[in-house]
Structure 1
Amino acid sequence: MPSPRISRAATSGNPNNANGRFEFMSLLTNKTSLSEQAPARLRTSDSPVHRKDSSSSQQQLPEEDCMKLNPSFLGIALRSLLAVDLWLSKTMGVCAREGSSWGSARPMMKLVEISGHGIPWIAGTMYCLYKSDSSAGREVILNLLFALLLDILLVAVVKGIVKRRRPIHNRMDMFATFSVDKYSFPSGHATRAAMVSRFMLNHLVLAVPVRILVMLWAIVVSLSRVMLGRHNVTDVLFGFFMGHMQYSLVEYLWLSPNTLPALFKI
């Protein structure tokens, strides 16, 4: 049986045991120092000054962020109206594609679209102006031509200002389009249909069935814009209203031999 002196000597002479004890003691020392530093950090983060700084940084938000967090009633109403407009326009676009629910009626709707296009109306008006042999008839037809040109100008200006894109389900296969026709608001067909129908009902002597057909034509042309997916509902509604206002403007700027005598002599 070994003596205690030999075992103590062997233990003290073994370098591995000494290093192991030193490493263990150093780990204990590091843990103790970390445990002492952690409460200090927590105390620093929980200090009143730190809480005050964090609360002040949260309260001092930019005005734009405050507006986003607290939207106005008008903004909510406009966004809701826009959502309803997009949903209703997509639901009513039954002829937007060949595979739509009313895709078989798409060719007929495109004929209605051409009947409300500006180029056929301007060309037909100029031909009637050339063939007219009465001064009263030339005056009416000349003002109709003026109304058509004014309609194209005003619609192009409004479209260029608003720059609303056409519905995503629209297929760009329209007849004779121009650069500004990539925009949707307002509907040029709706403005033209409303203005021309009101012009014809007030300045042409028409039978009752023909007057009814003129009004139905204006409604069908405006409705076809949504069915073909060309415009949203609000584009057509505003365009129809704008067409009525344009007619009032034409009446105010009516061209007569008294205002433009040289033109009527030609």
Structure 2
Amino acid sequence: MPSPKAKNNAGRSPNRTPSPHLLQRQGSDPTSARLRASESPTRRRGSGSASASATGPQQQLPEEDCMRLNPSFAGIALRSLLAIDLWMSKRLGVCAEEDSSWGSVRPLMKLIEISGHGIPWIAGTLYCMWKSDSAAGQEIMLNLLLALLLDVVLVGIVKALVRRRRPSHNRMDMFATFSVDRYSFPSGHATRAAMGARFLLTHLVLAAPVRVLVLLWAVLVGLSRVMLGRHNVTDVAFGFFMGYFQYSLVEALWVSTASLQKLLGVLG
């Protein structure tokens, strides 16, 4: 005889729908299904791409790096000119060392270097001004002295502002150097040679051969700076340009002997 429990189990329909409470317990309600769908891999991939796009702008290159990657035409041209300048200066530095290709000419180049140094020029100008008997001669030597002092000041200021190092193949065995002489731009010898040559050719009565020698001396002073490895080509070129126009400034500020005597009388 079957038991009442067996009868109850046999009486149940096999396709009977579970109760809502059972569905809720099993987590099969529609809300749970939507929550699980929202956590699907597709949604996770979408959220990952969204977060990547949100942090994307933070991974961009800085502005200065973009400028380096996209240089201007002027920057490219300047770098090319500097590269050519360094290459030419290296090739022309044939007297930089004793064992260089023109090392035997190095003593002569150093003698020309001393002839364009500021100390011999200032000392020679003071001596000529002291030995001069005429007021006109003293006036010329006085203005030459002021021009040399102006050259020292202007070249020192430009060197301190630019601070371009001397060529790597240079030997610091120059005559009577100062603190700013560790910088290369512009060449003080070139400025002094250009200004001094123009001054002498203008205010001194010289024969034609002597005038040629003065111009040749100025060119040799500038050439010796590159051959000894003291300066780059652009240092000397700008030095000639600067010295040429320094003389124009000296002419504009010319001090006569009468003006100097009045100034000394006021100060006295």
The bucket for the TM-score relative to the shorter chain is: 0.7 to 0.9
Structure 1 CA distance for aligned equivalents of residues 54 and 85 of structure 2:
46
Task: Tell me the alpha carbon deviations over residues 137-175 of structure 1, each in whole angstroms, 9 at most, x when there is no partner.
Answer: 111111111111110111011111111110000000000
Correspondence for 1:249: 249
Structure 2 CA distance for aligned equivalents of residues 149 and 45 of structure 1:
76
Structure 2 CA distance for aligned equivalents of residues 189 and 56 of structure 1:
54
Q: Between Structure 1 and Structure 2, how many residues are aligned?
A: 227
- 1:174 is aligned to 2:174: yes
Correspondence for 1:109: 109
Q: Is the 1:116–1:192 contact (alpha carbons within 8 Å) kept by the matching residues of 2?
A: yes
Q: Percent identity?
A: 70
Q: Is the 1:117–1:189 contact (alpha carbons within 8 Å) kept by the matching residues of 2?
A: yes
Q: Is the 1:257–1:264 contact (alpha carbons within 8 Å) kept by the matching residues of 2?
A: no
> Alpha-carbon deviation of 1:52?
2.2
Structure 1 CA distance for aligned equivalents of residues 46 and 229 of structure 2:
60
Structure 2 CA distance for aligned equivalents of residues 197 and 134 of structure 1:
22
Structure 2 CA distance for aligned equivalents of residues 263 and 221 of structure 1:
36
Task: Tell me the alpha carbon deviations over residues 162-204 of structure 1, each in whole angstroms, 9 at most, x when there is no partner.
Answer: 1111000000000000111011000000000000000000000
Task: Tell me the alpha carbon deviations over residues 74-117 of structure 1, each in whole angstroms, 9 at most, x when there is no partner.
Answer: 11111111111111100000000001100000000000000000
SS in 2 for 1:260: helix
Amino acid at match of 1:92: L
Higher radius of gyration, 1 or 2: 2
Q: 1:104 to 1:155 in 2, by over 3 A?
A: same
Structure 2 CA distance for aligned equivalents of residues 57 and 264 of structure 1:
70
Give matches, 1:119-134, under 5 Å.
119-134=119-134
Correspondence for 2:54: 53
Correspondence for 1:213: 213
Correspondence for 1:135: 135
Task: Tell me the alpha carbon deviations over residues 196-239 of structure 1, each in whole angstroms, 9 at most, x when there is no partner.
Answer: 00000000000000000000000000010000000000100000
Amino acid at match of 1:176: A
Give matches, 1:56-135, under 5 Å.
56-58=57-59, 60-135=60-135
Q: 1:207 to 1:82 in 2, by over 3 A?
A: same
Structure 1 CA distance for aligned equivalents of residues 46 and 186 of structure 2:
59
Correspondence for 1:8: none
> Alpha-carbon deviation of 1:44?
3.3
Task: Tell me the alpha carbon deviations over residues 113-139 of structure 1, each in whole angstroms, 9 at most, x when there is no partner.
Answer: 000000001001100000000011111
> Alpha-carbon deviation of 1:54?
5.7
Amino acid at match of 2:237: L
Give matches, 1:229-244, under 5 Å.
229-244=229-244
> Alpha-carbon deviation of 1:68?
1.5
Range that drifts further, 125-134 or 72-81: 72-81
TM-score by length of 2: 0.79
Structure 2 CA distance for aligned equivalents of residues 75 and 120 of structure 1:
41
Structure 1 CA distance for aligned equivalents of residues 214 and 263 of structure 2:
30
SS in 1 for 2:255: coil
> Alpha-carbon deviation of 1:45?
8.4
Q: 1:204 to 1:264 in 2, by over 3 A?
A: farther
Ranges in structure 2 where 5+ consecutive residues have no aligned partner: 1-39
> Alpha-carbon deviation of 1:259?
2.8
Structure 2 CA distance for aligned equivalents of residues 108 and 143 of structure 1:
30
Q: Is the 2:135–2:257 contact (alpha carbons within 8 Å) kept by the matching residues of 1?
A: no
Q: Is the 1:45–1:51 contact (alpha carbons within 8 Å) kept by the matching residues of 2?
A: no
Structure 2 CA distance for aligned equivalents of residues 46 and 88 of structure 1:
60
Q: 1:63 to 1:138 in 2, by over 3 A?
A: same
Q: Is the 2:225–2:231 contact (alpha carbons within 8 Å) kept by the matching residues of 1?
A: yes
